[in-house]
Amino acid sequence: MSNRVNVQSPLYHADFPSLASLGSSALPSDTLTSDRKTDGSVCLREAKLLGHLNLRGNSNNTEFKEGVEKVLGLALPLAPCTSAQNDDATIMWLSPDEWLIIVEGGREETIEATLRKSITGHFAVSDISGGQTILEISGPDCIKVLQKSTGYDFHLKQFPVGKVIGTAFAKSSTHIRRTGEYSFQLIVRRSFADYFWLWLQQSSQEYGLRVTL
């Protein structure tokens, strides 16, 4: 008898592979409008089934910081709203004593166990992979979609690559991280993933939406 677990993305039902094959015609027909652009200047991708670990600890504790760096090969980002990244992990600053660690899916259990062995003192690390997903939005007009979705100031001179913020988004909440010139990650709760997907469909109509894999 197989013990294999069938793990699905919270947006499994949206069938992103099929939508990606449609190019900028990815929106359902009932959302099309006469003024909708079809050039796909907004791209959306789900970075699904990654490992998400929540880490709490004292940023002034040298042993805590060194233990994390030993496991991940990254120094903890200590400045507010910053992040750090290498080929194996991303660490996002959430608060003075809290970070979100993103790793390749399937590695989160090993990383969590290794962190527990390497860190000393008062700390907490929790696997929250099943409760979150990441939506990646990019393209020339993605800034306009973000601006109409949240009251945060998305002037790019004030939002450098690597910056991460927690903010209200379309009456929900998310953490947003800038990953490139015109690309951002939205870390969303699993239970709100479908709401975000529907919102982004509607709010990007005038620019043209293209789903990518």
| Domain 51-130 belongs in CATH node 3.30.70.1520 | yes
Positions of CATH 3.30.1360.120 in the chain: 13-48+132-211
In tens, the pLDDT along 130-187 reads: 999 999 999 999 999 999 999 999 888 999 999 999 999 999 999 999 999 999 999 9
Contact 40, 23 (CB under 8 A): yes
Read off the pLDDT band of 29 (50, 70, 90): very low
- In this structure, the chain runs to a length of 213
In tens, the pLDDT along 96-132 reads: 999 999 999 999 999 999 999 999 889 999 999 999 9
pLDDT of the residue at 18: 93
pLDDT of the residue at 26: 47
| Domain 13-48+132-211 class, CATH top level | alpha beta
Q: Which of 24-28, 30-34, 66-70 has the lowest mean pLDDT?
A: 30-34
Read off the pLDDT band of 32 (50, 70, 90): very low
Higher pLDDT, 143 or 34: 143
Positions of CATH 3.30.70.1520 in the chain: 51-130
pLDDT of the residue at 30: 46
Q: Which residue is it, tokens 């399937």? A: 106
- CB environment 183-212: b (16+ within 10 A), e (fewer): bbbbbbbeebbeebbebbbebbbbbbbbbb
In tens, the pLDDT along 51-101 reads: 999 999 999 999 999 999 999 999 999 999 999 999 999 999 999 999 999
Read off the pLDDT band of 3 (50, 70, 90): low
Q: What is the pTM of this model?
A: 0.91
- Cβ-based neighbours of 127, under 8 Å, separated by 6 or more: 51, 52, 53, 108, 109, 112
- CB environment 120-145: b (16+ within 10 A), e (fewer): eeebebeeebeebbbbbbbbebbbbb
